[in-house]
Structure 1
Amino acid sequence: MSGENKNRVEFRVGGMTCAACQATVRRNVAKLPGVSEVNVNLLTGHMDLLLDGVDAVSADEVIKEVERSGYAAELLSASVGAVGNGTATAIAEQPVAATKRDETDSVHRSRRIFILSLLLYLPNLYLGMVSILGLPLPGFLAAGGGKGVQGLLQFILVIPILYLNRDFFISGTRAALRGAPSMNTLVSLGTGSAVLYGIYALFRIIAAEGGGDAETAHFYHTHLSFDSAAMLLVLIRLGRTLEAGAKRKTTQAVRQLLDLAPDTARRVEADGREVVVPATELRPGDTVRILPGERVPVDGTVIDGNSAVDESALTGESIPVPKGVGDAVSTATINGLGTLLVRTDKVGSETRIAAVARLVEQAAGSRAPIARIADRISGWFVPIVVAIALITLTSWLLSGSSVEFAFNRAVAVLLISCPCALGLATPVAIMVGTGRGAQLGVLVKSGEALEALSGVQTIVFDKTGTLTRGEPVVTDVVPNAAVYDTDGETVFLRAAASLETGSEHPLAAAVLNYAKAATVVPRSLGTVQALPGAGIGADLSAEIVAELGLPSGSIRLMAGNARLLCDTLSADQMNTGTVRDTSAGTSSTIRNATLEDALRRAAGLAEEGKTVLFFFTESVYLGLLAVRDEPRPESREVIRQLHDRGYKLMVLTGDRRETAVAIGRKLGLEPEEIAAELLPGDKVAVVRELQAKGDKVAMVGDGINDAPVLAAAEVGLAMGAGTDIAIETADIILMRSDLHAVADAFGLARQTFRNIKQNLFWAFFYNLLAIPLAAGVFYPSLGIVLSPVMGAAAMSLSSLFVVGNALRLRRYGRNRYECKGEASKMKTVELRVEGMSCPHCSGRVEKALNALPGVEATVDLAAGTAKVKYPDSVTREQLIAAITDAGYDVV
């Protein structure tokens, strides 16, 4: 197939009630020309198609095929990919539905039908129990026996119940005629057979009364099955109503996300007036004012004001984030105590929260590989059940049992069998799991990724920006004394900063920040070439050489690791550097620090957990900078949790081994769990080596150099603060830059697929036990048998069990810091903090404290205090250090 014409289209499919319906739609649509991928979600009623090729079908043809399969279809959206050779795709010309139908309509409709059916069923039940319990009857019914009249009245009362629940019969009959019987087919056969047998019994009653045979009339009156048919429909409708309501809860996370966006906004006009307008009227470039406590209506940039914004709707992190001029704000986040003036950048479907909701919905609608078990079974489940029912009927008749007994056993088999539970087992858990993940700041792109994550044995971490804060600071500046004399540190720092202006690496930002603090102004060097995994370099002009105080005749300035230094400068050059001035035709000799001296100094710094950057020209060593990137405060706790859960861990880094091991020691990692001095290609090789040993590998990273490794691993997780390319490559996005999200992701994946396996086991076990029980297999030996009514009730409860079990996932993560079921003992302390003068200050202190594992802190700005609950694993000294590091004092 050509990769040049790709179109993804989404339809809503109505009328699907079980796994057999889902399988039928998928099978029939997959046969259409140009359809390369079909995903049908029974839970949401959505069908997602990937069309490939110039001859792909139109939306109308897809809809007609779904309708021929016996279901309704409506186009929801069409997103067109690259179209090759100027060929327009048929699907792009189709109208796209503007809105999605409110799920509550179907729930309310089902509830109304249930209530009406129940009201009509009650008099039928009374009439059915007259002969059994001897209940009184009106005179006109009791006269002359009245059993024929009673039976006729029961028949009349069941007709409106049949009409109200006609969708079961219409759908079931269509499915049977297509050769793809569904759950509704079983319901139709079971209740229809009960009604037909009731009609037969009614004629026998009338005939018996006409012949004066009171005994026969009484016998068939006690076996009238109109009340049973009515009860079956009432119970099944009740089950469907409860199931629909439970299903609706599974999509609650997505609806909650979309409901968070405010309906109105305060738009600031050109003349300064404020006008309250619907949020849908806002356009990029508009200015909006956001008052304290209001939700942000757009994705935009702050152009005036300061505040702290609660971004928990997006990241799952409840600590407010300080915002000022130039900072980005997102739709549905909550403004704090300040007033913000925001320039609109994105609105509506282009906002970040809309993208999150789409991602969650797409993931929920995707099929996990484990769902194939149900897919394979659902296609032949209903025909086998019908065959078992016929065998049951025949067997009991041949054994000499009464027609009524044999008939009831066959109907019970039809009604107790439940492909619904089988079809719901996987999608309902995926829906709830991905929705809960979104609430925790874990965005899963597909069910396949979630399943892969649940089976991971080895987790590979990038170090910088993942296990560390990603905010490195310069700690040591060591110029080569043989090159620089008076004011050498400033001159060297200017050269270093000038080279780093052309780099996007986090270490470059540290150098530039240090230079800025030292009031050193760098010089632009033009184009800087990146040497992945080694360093950077830039060509020099004679003017720049003179301006930066570099050795005369230098033609290239470089910065990098020890490998690049040793590859560039020989030991002789390091000991005595000869520089030729090409403009004057002369040469001069410079005494350098020896290679051993430079590497020895770097090794000492590395053992302190610092990263060393060497600066040099093509022939002269200039000096080094040491940079330290502190570990995230939660890293050690998360590493411990993952170790306790049985994961094998590995850290991949381009840093010197001494630096990486020193940081790893702080985090509780063994030296053998660290692979250092790696190029991006080496990182991929390490992952491949782990996979070759049979391990399923997950990669956690955030930088551009992580993208190849994220793609190579079975599943890639990108920190939300990472680069766009890493997030695009990753299978799972962690919206908050907090490693607890990593533990949440793995825990949620395991819990979700444990839930799916429980659901599948229940669905199989239920049918394996229920069908023989309904067929009367245990009746001869144990005297146990189920009536059709009990079968219908059991069938409904089976589906409800599966949905209810999946809904337990909504509680996942509420006790995040509990390990192995034992909650940490919490202590409480109140600290007095000096130096806080605004909500921004209190927000920084609160954020610093809550970043510690298991800590729950509330800061009172007016009182100048911080109330802190913390576990035994955190000390009071750590609390004070966190506040001090944030720039405030504890008294």
Structure 2
Amino acid sequence: MTAAPEFDPATLDGLDRGIIGIDGLWCPSCAAAAGRAMTKVPGVTSAEVSYAGASVALAWEQGTDLGAVARKVSAMGYRLTAPDMGDDMEARIVAEMRRVSIRLVVAIVFGMWTMVLSILLYINPDNIATGEIGRALAMAAGATALPVVIWAGAPILLAGWRTARVGVPGMDSLVGLGVLGAMVASIWSLVAGHSEIWFDTAVMLVILLTLARLVEMSTLRQSSRAIAALRTALPETARRIDTHGVAHEVLASEIQAGEHIRVAAGERVPLDGQLINNDSSFDTSIMTGESVPRTIVKGDFVEAGFINLSRMIEISVSAEIGKRRIDVMGVDIANALHARPEIHRLADKLARVIVPLAITLATLTLVVGLLMGLSGEDASLRALSVLIIACPCAVAIAAPVSHLAATGAAAASGIHFRTHAASESLGAIRRVLFDKTGTLTEGRPVLRELQLRPDLKRERILALVAAAENEVVHPVAEALRQAAKDSEPLKSSQSERCDDGVKATIADKKVLVGSRGFLLRHAVSLPELKQDAGLTAVYMAIDNAWAATFFLGDTLRPDAAATISQLREAGLTLGMASGDAPAPCHHVGAIAGLRPEEILAACTPEDKAELVEAGAGPTAFVGDGVNDTLAIVRADVGIAASNASPATIALADVVIAKGGMTAVGEAIAISQKARRVLRQNLVFSVVYNVLALGLAVFGTVPPLAAAVAMAASSLMVITNAARLRAGASKIKPSTEHNTGTPAERRHLGVQT
């Protein structure tokens, strides 16, 4: 894979903000440290670093030396590059995953022997630990631990040093302190002629954090293609119309504003522009989420991503690539990904206290011991005990093991937590907003009702309409063909596609299928039929006489109403934000159990994003389409529903692979349990450290007992986290959730 080119400050001349790539980030802690360092450069006003995107959203004052920013980052061991907008990100992360996997295998292979030898010394059969055999076992344990620490653990130690150096020690600093403390104490013990060692502690910390990093990187793999996923939804070529009216296929990137392009029926529009020759019907769901095609007339504007359903059209391009609405959304999404701050987990906050505290207490214990008249060896042993106990192993692994356990429990149910933050923060949300089409509903029209002329049979009518719509590329036509799949197939001898209907000759019968206006224009008398809200009517005539009316509509997911009810009982504020028309939105919302004031229809992607940000508490947004992506990244937790688009999956914090709407409730329940377990682990770890440190300072805990106690505390944390594997119960009401008072519901920004 070709390395990204060096960052050239000249490319940002005249600007005061931009997105710049960063090469060499190892973890989110590294990203936080790099951002902190960049903000110390004079003139830099903000630096939001995205570990997933390996880039920084940088803002600066006019006249700022961006070269100084590059030099600052280079001094930390990283490199500023030209921004990678998604083409090579996945390859980069896959390559890094491969390297981390090799380090993990090496750590496990060598670390296994370190563990076995250390356990023998702890058990001490026949008192072997005090003799030459014990010393030999201790040295062998140290020898097998060296490859784990020096090679597999090198990135952790380096990241810990980098983050500590700029004043933001995090998980890597915690683990690095534990690893170095255990190694130094063990080597010192061997040099002093003792067989007490703590190499197993160093090995365990390296293995656990490397495993956690590998899981985290695998969940970030899709995020690397966020902006690229938006681009892949659009065609790369367009048919340019020359001065003689002839269309030539060229790259869409070559088309400039003011030029004309041609789009055939069934094709996706590549560029924004104005219709200049014909009206046509469009599938606009990529941008609006509308379940029913929309007619756009000559002179009106169409957007890149729309699917032309009816006829050949010509468009006068108004926005070339980079300036299309979907491109602007891509920039907004990139900024939102950077602007969304990393969750400062309690473990990372504790690290900033524990790291300097451990070193300070160990040093004070040594100095005070010497002043009290203790021998150098006794004072050093006390300081060693303090350092071993203060090495925050349990604190360091509390968050990773909780995340790993939550990820495993969720994966068994087809739910993927893509980040540490998602597994922790989803359980704290107070509000859930849903898209409609494809999220609460199945996302495709189906035949809901058929009204027939009394002398006709259902099977015959379905066979005729399927034959008439056989060549039509349209969601409604597909729904009619699907409804007739069990009928005897017929073949039309002649077919003509019109703007809002189709004419066909089938078995010597003249068949018309289309809108009410289409049949009225052909002098067909239609009965006045009652139509349910939210359904689309398609009329059919045989030999110029009305024959049938087909009512089509989207279908609510089977588990949607039960999930809405469950979330409401848990005290969450609920809402729907859809780009569809008001009638189908309120129809579906009522069936799902949503109140009228909780439903907002005809939303643009920007409207949905604003709605997310208008909430009074942490918000989750559940969606499936490209039009949901901006809301997905602006939400505290973005959830991709089953069968979501690649762009939505790439940007979501949580991905529902199976389980439908039920899985949304289950994901929240798992996260709630994960938060409880994490808090329990952190509280236990802190209490253990405080109590054990007090004993160690006064010399009542020998180094060997300190090592056993430290191992026991880590084992307790791992065992407690493993309870998540037992599965999560139903969502529980919490004091963190509000009950959706009228005032809070007004934050939804919706009206009846």
Query: Fold-level match, TM-score > 0.5?
Result: yes
The answer to whether 1:460 aligns with 2:433 is yes
CA contact (8 A) 2:183 2:202 kept: no
The answer to whether 1:679 aligns with 2:602 is yes
The answer to whether 1:511 aligns with 2:480 is yes
Q: Which residue of 1 aligns with 2:182?
A: 187
SS at match of 1:627: strand
CA contact (8 A) 2:669 2:732 kept: no
Q: Distance in 1 between matches of 2:398 and 2:50?
A: 16
Alignment of 1:294-313 (within 5 A): none
Q: Which residue of 1 aligns with 2:110?
A: 109
- 1:764-792: per-residue Cα shift (whole Å, max 9, x none)? 3332332222112xx9xxxxx32222222
Alignment of 1:373-384 (within 5 A): 373-375=346-348, 377-378=350-351, 381-384=354-357
Change (3 A) 1:643 1:542: closer
SS at match of 1:425: helix
Q: Which residue of 2 aligns with 1:797?
A: 712
Q: Distance in 1 between matches of 2:608 and 2:161?
A: 55
The answer to whether 1:237 aligns with 2:222 is no
Counterpart among 660, 666, 678 of residue 744 in structure 1: 666
- 1:562-592: per-residue Cα shift (whole Å, max 9, x none)? xxx9xxx9xxxx9xx8x7xxxxxxxx9x798
Alignment of 1:380-399 (within 5 A): 381-398=354-371
CA contact (8 A) 1:4 1:82 kept: no
- 1:623-664: per-residue Cα shift (whole Å, max 9, x none)? 964235554443344333323333233344567767666655
Change (3 A) 1:81 1:680: same
- 1:795-843: per-residue Cα shift (whole Å, max 9, x none)? 2223333333333333325xx7x6779xxxxxxxxxxxxxxxxxxxxxx
Counterpart among 501, 526, 532 of residue 472 in structure 2: 501
Which has the bigger relative contact order, CA under 8 A and spacing at least 6?
2
| TM-score (normalised: structure 2) | 0.55
For 1:237, give the aligned amino acid: F
Q: Distance in 1 between matches of 2:144 and 2:465?
A: 82
Change (3 A) 1:443 1:693: closer
Q: Which residue of 1 aligns with 2:328?
A: none
Q: Which residue of 2 aligns with 1:473?
A: 446
Counterpart among 552, 558, 564 of residue 627 in structure 1: 552
Q: Distance in 2 between matches of 1:515 and 1:121?
A: 74
The answer to whether 1:436 aligns with 2:390 is no
Q: Which residue of 2 aligns with 1:639?
A: 564
Change (3 A) 1:558 1:8: farther
CA contact (8 A) 2:446 2:480 kept: yes
For 2:565, give the aligned amino acid: R
Q: Distance in 1 between matches of 2:655 and 2:471?
A: 30
For 1:731, give the aligned amino acid: D
Q: Distance in 2 between matches of 1:550 and 1:169?
A: 77
SS at match of 1:443: strand
CA contact (8 A) 1:430 1:752 kept: yes
Q: Which residue of 1 aligns with 2:393?
A: 420
Change (3 A) 1:666 1:711: same
For 1:101, give the aligned amino acid: I
For 2:693, give the aligned amino acid: I
Q: Distance in 2 between matches of 1:549 and 1:807?
A: 65
Unaligned runs of 5+ in 1: 14-21, 41-46, 67-77, 130-149, 199-225, 258-366, 527-536, 552-556, 560-564, 580-587, 617-621, 780-784, 822-891
CA contact (8 A) 2:496 2:504 kept: no
SS at match of 2:617: coil
Shift of 1:417: 0.7
Q: Distance in 1 between matches of 2:503 and 2:495?
A: 12
Q: Distance in 2 between matches of 1:83 and 1:442?
A: 24
The answer to whether 1:807 aligns with 2:745 is no
Q: Which residue of 2 aligns with 1:410?
A: 383
Change (3 A) 1:649 1:497: farther
Alignment of 1:701-716 (within 5 A): 701-703=623-625, 706-707=628-629, 709-716=631-638
CA contact (8 A) 1:701 1:717 kept: yes
CA contact (8 A) 1:107 1:244 kept: no
Q: Which residue of 1 aligns with 2:621?
A: 699
Shift of 1:441: 1.2
Q: Distance in 2 between matches of 1:423 and 1:766?
A: 13
| TM-score (normalised: structure 1) | 0.48
Shift of 1:675: 1.8
For 1:513, give the aligned amino acid: Q
Q: Distance in 1 between matches of 2:145 and 2:652?
A: 47
For 1:807, give the aligned amino acid: A
Shift of 1:694: 0.8
Change (3 A) 1:728 1:379: closer
Shift of 1:749: 2.3
Change (3 A) 1:165 1:513: closer
Larger Rg: 1
For 1:411, give the aligned amino acid: L
Over the aligned positions, Cα root-mean-square deviation in angstroms equals: 6.3
Counterpart among 730, 733, 738 of residue 652 in structure 2: 730
Change (3 A) 1:523 1:699: farther
SS at match of 1:626: strand
Q: Distance in 1 between matches of 2:642 and 2:135?
A: 64
Counterpart among 770, 777, 799 of residue 692 in structure 2: 770
Q: Which residue of 2 aligns with 1:611?
A: 535
